[in-house]
Amino acid sequence: TDLNVASRRAASASAFARAQDLMPGGVSSPVRAYKAVGGDPVYIRSGKGAVVTDLDGLEYVDYVGSYGPLILGHAPDTVLAALSKAAARGTTFGMPTEAESTLAAMVIDAVPSVEMVRFVNSGTEAAMSAIRLARAATGRPAIVKCTGCYHGHSDALLVEAGSGALTLGQPSSPGVPKDITQNTLLVPFNDLEAARAVFEAHPDQIAAFAVEPVGGNMGCVPPVEGYLEGLRSLCDEFGAMLLFDEVMTGFRVARGGAQELYAVTPDLTCLGKVIGGGLPCAAYGGRRDLMEQVAPAGPMYQAGTLSGNPLAMAAGIATLAELENPDLYGQLESTTRQLAEGLATRAERAGVPVQIARVGSMLCVFFAESPVLSYEQAVRCRTDRFAAFFNAMLERGVILPPSQYECWFISAAHDGELIKQTLQAAEHGFAAAVEI
């Protein structure tokens, strides 16, 4: 059957063969390779709603969701209309447009900690710049990050990182000199004692504690009760900035992000993914007194030729406007709960131990015997079982992120029928996993 499977995706296979000669690993981002699950990546021709179509014309229920931005699904009519209107006026000017203020006002309105915002082009830039601002504002050199959290690939933050780095077993990268990461202090996620210990060991040295308020790059790892509150008070006690990297959780787990869901207010927030409505866009924001230290209002320099790009602003505005519908997050919650419960039942029936972790419309099926609350626990998952599950799902028309350590993203376009289809596929997926 392997031959059959390969020939079903002949166009993807030949597209990948060509790409491998032209780009490292054939991809523009390592998470897109199928290194952890085997086989060639599926090449996408188009997507509409919750369904993508590949180069060979095969359709899949999509849970990749471009790794988070597509909360409304693929190619929503409102976003397409906004984009074509904006494109007809010109794609970039390097001069201000009103759309930037429109999107900024929407972000500030929704996200509790954000009084002013600066747009950038990627989550990597947002986190790198927010760290620079925390250092500028405190005059301190060190930052703390959690093992398994991912804040993009900037030098100082690419240390024991999650996402593709974790999938490939390369949590830290060559090419990052020691003297750049000596100011990056590491602690386990969800461990308040370790957080206190790092502050006590480096008094007056720590500019910021950076954290994904819901770990989304080592699977889905919710904060344990009291963890975020505890970080808030430690930062207050030791005069450090609390930095929430909400690139994934912002407008995803709630309109106001994890800070709304858990009612903990950071000093600085990174946003990305959903705020760009599927176009390259991210942002960092926070209290006015901090943000006014950013150039040209203040001395901390950060810039971008395409930042606040008119097309990205238009897609972001159209997306955030839809998210003002008060029913939408309730709908996402109930769709995802239905999926999570259905997966749990079917895994149990198949006799394969899994942990279904979920916050809002982020979900992960951990092939593990006990709940996963940290990187240290995440790395013990049965990635071989995940690979078998992944491939069985793919054969039955459900496409997942090709790693145990990435979240599935559910969109407003995932309806009851697609969830049913997914659960039917999962019966085969779990049966394949249990054989490993």
Residues near ligand PMP (CB under 6 A): 67, 122-124, 127, 150-152, 163, 212, 216-217, 245, 247-248, 272, 282
Q: How many helices (H) and strands (E) does the chain have?
A: 16, 14
- The DSSP result for 201-266, as a single string, is HSTTTEEEEEE-SSB-SSS-BPPPTTHHHHHHHHHHHHT-EEEEEETTTBTTTBTTHHHHHTT---
- Shortest gap between Cβ of 42 and ligand PMP (angstroms)? 20
Q: Give whichever of 12 and 269 is closer to ligand PMP, judged by the CB atom.
A: 269
Minimum CB separation from ligand PMP for residue 7, in Å?
33
> Which residue is catalytic, options 34, 63, 150, 405?
150
Report the distance separating Cα 184 and Cα 134, nearest Å: 13
Query: Is 145 marked active-site?
Result: no
Q: In this complex, which beta carbon is closest to ligand PMP, that of residue 124 or of residue 336?
A: 124
Residue closer to ligand PMP (CB basis): 160 or 212: 212
Question: Closer to ligand PMP at the Cβ: 55 or 311?
Answer: 311
CB of 228 to ligand PMP, least distance (A): 15
Residue with the closest Cβ to ligand PMP?
Answer: 123
Angstrom distance (rounded) from CA 148 to CA 291: 28
- In angstroms, give the least distance from the CB of 416 to ligand PMP: 28
Active-site option among 245, 262, 267, 329: 245
**Buried-exposed string 390-428: b where 16+ CB fall within 10 A, e elsewhere:** bbbbbbbebbbbbbbbbbbbbbbbbeeebbebbbebbbb
Distance, CA of 214 to CA of 249 (rounded, Å) = 7
Give the residue among 436, 408, 390 at the shortest CA–CA distance from 42.
Answer: 390
Nearer to ligand PMP, 65 or 73 (CB): 65
CB 297 within 8 A of CB 136: no
Tell me how far, at minimum, the Cβ of 403 lies from ligand PMP, in Å: 12
> Edge-to-edge strands of the sheet including 398-399?
44-48, 51-54, 59-62, 398-399
Query: Which residue lies nearer to ligand PMP by CB, 312 or 387?
Result: 312
DSSP letter at 400 equals -
Catalytic residue among 40, 191, 262, 273: 273
Give catalytic status of residue 301 as yes or no: no
Is 150 one of the catalytic residues? yes
CB of 278 to ligand PMP, least distance (A): 12
- Kindly give the residue spans of alpha helices, DSSP state H, lying in 364-412: 375-378, 383-395
Cite the active site residues: 150, 245, 273
